[in-house]
Amino acid sequence: MIRTTRFAWLLLALFSFAAHAAPFWGAKTSSPAGTPPAALKPGEWVWGGDAKDMGPMAVVVSLTEQRAYVYRNGLLIAVSTVSTGKPGHETPTGVFTILQKDKDHHSSKYNDAPMPYQERLTWDGVALHAGGLPGYPESHGCVHLPTEFARLLFDATTMGMVVVIAKEGMAPEDLVHPPVASPIDPRTGAEDAAQLLGAAESFRWEPQKSPTGPLSMVMSTADRRLFVFRNGIEIGRARVDFRDGPAPQGTHAYLVSAATPGQPPAWRRIGIPGREDEAGQDVAARDVARVVVPPAFTAAVSPLLRPGVVLLQTDLHVLPDTTGPALQVLNADVPAL
């Protein structure tokens, strides 16, 4: 009788554990960095890496695309498929901040349902968390993420981080279809739409827009533009050209490995998914010299290029009138110097 009772308690405990254990949703590993977001199947995602000291993070969720885009200091570092609120339980649009984080959260409204890696956006129940991903909106208002992606995001975010949720017809185009460079101010969630360079402008330099903080850069060889971000805010852009042949192809990431006053900085390649073999390779001076930037812009930026500054080079469009849905993602994991 005693053994039977103990066995019954064991079965009850196992049943209780199974009832509360969260299932695993979505892909277990990142898709290659070159995968266009539109090609991601339900549950698939790309996480290019992250470094918290690189600058502020922000997230844009496109209800129209059913995807989430993660930016660090202005650069896209991750993208994932999502599932948002179904009819009658629509996910609200607007600017939100992370109010609460709970790794092992269970719903108080829906039968104690598991909501792993929950990041609360509203006190009435809207949150980012791991959940079902059927390929269409099916949640009760939350933004469902793949489990492993939700874990990575949970570890990377901080309380108060901005999350913008946008929908076609209710938000600007670059929020509904986000580009490779962040379209928002990470401090407020407001659209950060810098004016295009005029026909007579070779560059624009506005360091006063963000006087302090870490620097990062995006160079689009398709648009022939170089964009500079400080603390997630664009502070400059310039026209670029290329000597001795066509513009470089593909997406690559670089890191300033050494900087000496009065001398050009030394650059080192960062391995991104699909280009892991490039990690730690020094960039030849002749390759740096191929890039032609207005001298006055170079003079303004050069003093800010300290070890650790990251440059993302892409042959995809960044300018809003040419931005397409195909993006690639930066791996910000910094190799040992």
Residue 289 burial by Cβ neighbours in a 10 Å radius (0-12, 13-18, 19+): exposed
Give the residue from 179, 59, 213, 175 showing the smallest Cα distance to 128: 59
Handedness of CA 116, 120, 125, 130 (dihedral sign): negative
Q: What is the pLDDT of residues 27-71, one digit of tens each?
A: 999 988 777 889 999 999 999 878 888 899 999 999 999 999 999
Please check whether residue 152 is in contact with residue 45, taking contact to mean a CB–CB distance below 8 angstroms.
no
Strands of the 162-166 sheet, one edge to the other: 45-47, 75-81, 67-72, 57-62, 162-166, 94-97
pTM (2 decimals)? 0.84
Question: Which DSSP helix (H) or strand (E) runs through 166?
Answer: strand 162-166
Residue 56 to residues 59, 108, 185, 190, 321, Cα–Cα distance (Å): 11, 32, 10, 15, 26
Instruction: Please tell me the distance from the alpha carbon of residue 254 to that of residue 234, in angstroms, as a whole number.
Output: 19
Please check whether residue 257 is in contact with residue 307, taking contact to mean a CB–CB distance below 8 angstroms.
yes
Per-residue pLDDT of the chain (337 residues; tens, 9 = 90+): 455 566 556 555 555 544 456 799 999 999 887 778 899 999 999 998 788 888 999 999 999 999 999 999 999 899 999 999 999 999 999 999 999 999 987 766 665 578 899 999 999 889 999 999 999 999 999 999 999 999 999 999 999 999 999 999 999 999 999 988 899 999 999 998 778 899 999 999 999 999 999 999 999 998 999 999 999 999 999 999 999 989 988 888 899 999 988 888 999 999 887 788 899 999 999 999 999 999 999 999 999 999 999 998 888 778 865 444 433 344 333 333 2
